Amino acid sequence: MRSRQLLCLTFLVALLTGCSAGSTGGVSVLSQSPAPTSATAPEQPPSSPPVATPVLPARVVVIDPGHNGGNAAAPDEINRPVPDGNGGTKPCNTVGTSTNAGYAEHAFNWAVALAVRDLLTAQGVEVVLTRSDDVGVGPCVDQRAAVADQAAAAAFVSIHADGSAPGNRGFHVITSNLDPAGSDIGAASDALAVAVRDEMTSVLSASNYIGSDGLNARDDLAGLNLNLRPAIYLECGNMRDATDAALLTSGSGQAAIAAAVAAGVLRLLG
Ligand code: ZN
C-alpha cells in the first residue's frame, strides 16, 4: 500500500508539473519549460517566435531620375563630352524640359522615381537610385548606365518627360536598337518596355507623335547604348502639352505613373 500511495503521489505531482511521461504526443517535453505548478498561477504567454526574414532572390532595380536640379547652374560640368555608346560623344547631362508654367522635368522625374522606389521596396525589391537628391549636378549619362552594371540590375528604368509641341500627347518607352549587351539582354529590354507600356496605357494614351504603340527604338541615348542590363527610358508624357502637363504635375497623376512603372517592372521580375 505504501509504495502504491507513493506512486499515486508521484503521479499527482507529475500531473501538476506537467512532467508525467517524458513525452506527450511524440514531442519530448524535457526541453520545455515547466508548466505552472499552481492552477492559479498566471499562464505564461508563449515566447514570440523570431520573425522570419523572407528569403527572396536577389532582385536589384535601378531607377534613374533624369537630369538634376543643379544642372542649369553648372553648364561647364554638364556640357562635358562623354561617350555616347555609338562611336561618338554627347554632353554629360542636360537640364531637361519643363511645363509652360515652369514645373521642371527634373522635379517630376525625382518625384516619380521616389514613388516607384517605395512601391518596389515594399515588394522586397532592392532599389538603387542614380542620384541621391534633386539639387545636385549630374551624374553624367554614361555614369548612370554604369550604375546598372555595377548593381547587376534586373532592370534599369530612366524616368523622363518630354518637351514636344503642344498637341503632341502621350507616353513612349525607349530602348536602344544597338543591343549593347547582346540579344538576350536586348530581348529582356524589349520585354521590360512592353510590360511598362502595357501598364502605362491605363494612365494615359501612347504617344501620338513618336514611335509605334508607345514603343520607340533609338541609337542616340548613351544611358541605353552603354547599358549592359535590361534598360528602358520612359517619357511619361509631353510637358509642353496642357492636357499632358495637367496629369504630369498632379500628385494623383504622378502616383498613377509610378504605380504603372512598378507594376511593369514587377511583371518582368516575375
Ligand atoms: Zn528628360
Domains assigned to the chain: 61-269 (3.40.630.40)
Measured in Å, residue 161 CA sits from the centre of ligand 1 at 6
Would residue 235 show up in a list of annotated catalytic residues for this protein?
Answer: yes
Condensed to tens digits (0 to 9), the pLDDT of residues 88-123 reads: 999 999 999 999 999 999 999 999 999 999 999 999
Of 250, 247, 130, nearest to 200 by C-alpha is 247
Condensed to tens digits (0 to 9), the pLDDT of residues 212-247 reads: 999 999 999 999 999 999 999 999 999 999 999 999
Measured in Å, residue 94 CA sits from the centre of ligand 1 at 8
pLDDT, mean over the chain? 86
Using a pLDDT cut of 90, give the percent of the chain over it.
Answer: 78
**Which residue did the predictor score with more confidence, 183 or 51?**
183
Q: Which one of the listed residues 43, 105, 199, 235 is annotated catalytic?
A: 235
Q: pLDDT-based confidence at 23, cuts 50/70/90?
A: very low
Q: pLDDT-based confidence at 50, cuts 50/70/90?
A: low
Q: pLDDT-based confidence at 181, cuts 50/70/90?
A: very high
Is the Cβ–Cβ distance between 157 and 62 less than 8 Å? yes
Of 67, 129, 74, 63, nearest to 93 by C-alpha is 67
Measured in Å, residue 111 CA sits from the centre of ligand 1 at 14
**Which residue did the predictor score with more confidence, 69 or 56?**
69
Measured in Å, residue 187 CA sits from the centre of ligand 1 at 24
Measured in Å, residue 234 CA sits from the centre of ligand 1 at 9
Of 124, 143, 125, 24, nearest to 83 by C-alpha is 143
SS3 of 247-259: HHHCHHHHHHHHH
Is the Cβ–Cβ distance between 215 and 194 less than 8 Å? yes
Measured in Å, residue 164 CA sits from the centre of ligand 1 at 11
Q: What pLDDT is recorded for position 194?
A: 98
Is the Cβ–Cβ distance between 93 and 78 less than 8 Å? yes
Measured in Å, residue 142 CA sits from the centre of ligand 1 at 15
